Amino acid sequence: MNLGPWRYVSASVIGSSHQRVGGVCQDSNVCTVLPSALNGEVLISVVADGAGSASQSAAGSAMACRFISDAAARFVSCARINDLVQATVEEWIQGFQKAVAEQACADGSTSREYACTLLTSIVGPDAAVFFQIGDGSIVVADSEELNHCHVFWPERGEYENMTFFATETGFAANLKFENVCRNIVELAMFSDGLQRLALDFVKTMPYEPFFRGLFPSVRAMTTDDDGKLNQSLVDFLDSPRVNERTDDDKTLILATRVQEVGVQ
């Protein structure tokens, strides 16, 4: 397998149901690659999906992505990824909740109005940490084979349209955490708007044709392709064939270290 530096694209696109009522996209994402003396090159990716019933959920999801990605960046600058434990992640989320509470107080609102889910991946050359609250999914492939598998299955509440949020007081009970020594070479993260396209709910596994159709262009991308490929991803997420399957907001991050032969 030919491996190179991380290549990635990401987009958050408003759903057709929100467009019809003049709403905004309540999804947010951050994806970045950082050098680390202790860890080598580190990919940090965060996806947050604002609750549809919460008036400030777009702001909440954006805050979650910024706060958690910044906390992860600080950590990998001075510690090894495989030293990250769940208790530290819980402290990050508590810090995010404090920032939300302060913003809500300034707005004359409540933290509940900033409700959002949270998915995070921190991936180094041979170690990775994943954590998640709520629905959406993280899908990965390692250097042994390029078949994709999910890290966590989407978490829902008691009813089909319910999930859990990072703003909830009892978030720790619904926090999924995994620290692995594994050579992750490909990663996809997406909000629940894409679950029915990207996951096979009968087999409880990723729907491989979905990823097989998307990753080749990311593997072959060059520095000059960054803007074009991001726009292509936006166009795909807002295309009729996707909107026919889902009217929700959609976020997708695709990242790969697999390099097509001859691509620099």
State the number of CA atoms in the 13 A half-sphere of 108 facing the CB.
Answer: 0
SS3 23: coil
Model confidence at 222, in pLDDT bands (50, 70, 90)?
Answer: confident
Q: For the sheet containing 118-123, what is the strand order?
A: 27-34, 42-49, 118-123, 128-133, 176-180
Burial of 88 (0-12, 13-18, 19+ CB in 10 A): middle
Do 14 and 23 touch, CB atoms closer than 8 A? Answer: yes
Q: Is the pLDDT of residue 242 over 70?
A: yes
The helix or strand, by DSSP H or E, that contains position 29, with its residue range, turns out to be: strand 27-34
Residue 144 has a pLDDT of 80
The mean per-residue pLDDT over the stretch 172-199 comes to 96
Q: Is the pLDDT of residue 158 over 60?
A: no
Model confidence at 10, in pLDDT bands (50, 70, 90)?
Answer: very high
Residue 146 has a pLDDT of 80
Report the C-alpha gap between 15 and 6 in whole angstroms. 29
The mean per-residue pLDDT over the stretch 76-99 comes to 98
Model confidence at 18, in pLDDT bands (50, 70, 90)?
Answer: confident
Model confidence at 44, in pLDDT bands (50, 70, 90)?
Answer: very high
The residue with greater pLDDT, 262 or 101, is 101
Residue 244 has a pLDDT of 93
Q: Are strands 205-206 and 199-200 parallel, antiparallel or unpaired?
A: antiparallel
Q: Burial letters for 217-253: b for 16+ Cβ neighbours within 10 Å, e otherwise?
A: bbbbbeeebeeebeeebbebbbeeebbeebebbbbbb
**pLDDT tens string 120-137:** 999 999 999 999 999 999
The mean per-residue pLDDT over the stretch 41-57 comes to 95
Residue 23 has a pLDDT of 80
The two structure tokens encoding residue 21:
């009522």
Q: Give the chain's mean pLDDT.
A: 92
Residue 226 has a pLDDT of 66
Residue 155 has a pLDDT of 76
Position 132: which residue type? Q
3-258: CATH homologous superfamily?
Answer: PPM-type phosphatase domain (3.60.40.10)
186 CB-near residues (< 8 Å, 6+ apart): 140, 141, 146, 148, 215, 255, 256, 257, 258
Residue 161 has a pLDDT of 63
The mean per-residue pLDDT over the stretch 160-169 comes to 86
SS3 71: helix
Residue 159 has a pLDDT of 45
User: φ, ψ for residue 36 (rounded to 5)?
Assistant: -140, 125
Q: Is the pLDDT of residue 157 over 60?
A: no
The helix or strand, by DSSP H or E, that contains position 92, with its residue range, turns out to be: helix 86-107
